[in-house]
Amino acid sequence: MVTPAIKKADRADRKDTSKHALDDLLSATLKSLCGLEKEYVKSLQRNAENANRVYKAKKAVECISFRVNQSKPIIDEIDHVLAQHYGFTDEDLDFIVNYYIKYRMGWNGG
- For the chain, the C-alpha Rg in angstroms (whole number) is 21
pLDDT in tens, 30-62: 899 999 999 999 999 999 999 988 887 778 888
CA distance 81 to 87: 10
Average pLDDT, the chain: 79
CA distance 36 to 30: 10
Q: Where are the domains of the chain?
A: 18-104
For range 88-102, the mean pLDDT: 86
Q: Are 27 and 33 in contact (CB under 8 A)?
A: no
High-pLDDT (> 90) share of the chain, %: 37
Strand partners, 61: 53
